[in-house]
Structure 1
């Protein structure tokens, strides 16, 4: 393994699963196997904290004493979570960073999950060295987004909550919408086309990066999406949140 100073732990808290791993901060790669536990039902703060502790135990002795970054599906400002989509409303206005620091007995850095994934791709992946506006989207329980302009993160964008037919567009186009409505990959791809066309009209990005769990199967849905901007899959796929959170752990 690399020297301790070059390693950190990332925890990615999602609406359906919580994942963690040890990351090489110089290369942006996973040094450990990824460990995963289902997100506790309701995703209340105390239950999520307990699951984070269980993830650290699964990582074992190699994770002890390392810097820790945590990414989370909410707007995060000054260590507080200010929104709650697909999680308990207890998180709204909650001092999440302090709560986790007190509960885990270590300093952490708390960040929005899609922003963490965007940083991973900007520093170590598909958006590295790219000029202009990159928009990363994570397709999963909801739709997360990250804006990277000339390598700099513009935090807390929420494209999944653009209003579409009276509700958040993620209800129409997230990966869970495909499962919930029993859509074929092609049918879902056509829904995604509407989402990406709308986003492109609003922001005119130079690059789209598609992340989230489904990014491991791009051939199933990306052929049905056409954009003016180049569109690629995230290099780090569903590990991007872990890697990005870990990369912020020493900030």
Structure 2
């Protein structure tokens, strides 16, 4: 029997760093301090898996602790479809198989934006919210996550909707605001067009806005007029780890229901 609290372990893989920590599934809080290891210069599957093994080795985890990995690319049942911030050799690789074999544990993988959205529903700004929750992270691009009654709809990539002849994120991401030196009002007009279109398509009950610019939410969210309530994210830098851990725990629970003797 486990002597640890009810925890899962979350890992957030980024272009510059790989971070991980055990997460208390009751509260969403880290049970120990986060560990960060720089992403290898040649960030191949083997090199990244070695770093993850080193990172997990920093903690005394039970054998049955769920392990969740947030990955910066769309995933097709664990298989990398495209990649931007890591080595191209990841394309076609099943993350869960490669990392799981290296660390000798069952691994559950999730896109990083999906992890952030799942974390916000489990422990953050959308906790307790029923219905359709949409997370949009406004940064270099626009990441998105869609959660319906607690179930993740993976790999939505709603930043790439074509809107008014443009890839939406080229006009509405925070990078567009800084690149074009837009004031908050002009940028909010673009966000209004973008989120109004998402409302038309998806009818969300709640929209959560993440990304670094969300700390300035008072400058632009009040300028938006939407049917859905729109609020800033809460988890910030912890979103990837916390969301990956929560997602892994959820997947592990479903696996036990499907395969009770495994």
In structure 2, relative to structure 1, the CA distance for the partners of 1:127 and 1:116 (3 Å cut) is same
C-alpha deviation, 1:112, in angstroms: 1.5
**Alpha carbons 1:129, 1:151 under 8 Å: kept:** no
User: How many angstroms apart in 2 are the aligned matches of 1:92 and 1:199?
Assistant: 29
In structure 2, relative to structure 1, the CA distance for the partners of 1:91 and 1:176 (3 Å cut) is farther
User: How many angstroms apart in 2 are the aligned matches of 1:176 and 1:37?
Assistant: 27
User: How many angstroms apart in 1 are the aligned matches of 2:173 and 2:40?
Assistant: 21
Per-residue CA deviations over 1:166-225 (Å, capped at 9, x if unaligned) read 553223333333444454445443333332122122212111011233333322332333
User: Match of 1:208?
Assistant: 207
**Alpha carbons 1:189, 1:224 under 8 Å: kept:** yes
- TM (norm. structure 2) is 0.78
Segments of 5+ residues of structure 1 without an aligned counterpart are none
Is 2:28 the partner of 1:28?
A: yes
User: Match of 2:191?
Assistant: 192
User: Match of 1:118?
Assistant: 117
* More off after superposition, 204-213 vs 75-84: 75-84
User: Match of 2:130?
Assistant: 131
- TM (norm. structure 1) is 0.81
Q: Which structure would you say has the larger Rg?
A: 2
Segments of 5+ residues of structure 2 without an aligned counterpart are 253-262
User: How many angstroms apart in 1 are the aligned matches of 2:229 and 2:25?
Assistant: 28
Is 2:104 the partner of 1:99?
A: no
**Alpha carbons 2:221, 2:231 under 8 Å: kept:** no
Q: What CA RMSD, in Å, does the superposition of the two structures yield over aligned residues? A: 3.0
User: How many angstroms apart in 2 are the aligned matches of 1:166 and 1:37?
Assistant: 41
User: Match of 1:9?
Assistant: 9
Per-residue CA deviations over 1:83-112 (Å, capped at 9, x if unaligned) read 335544433322121111123343211112
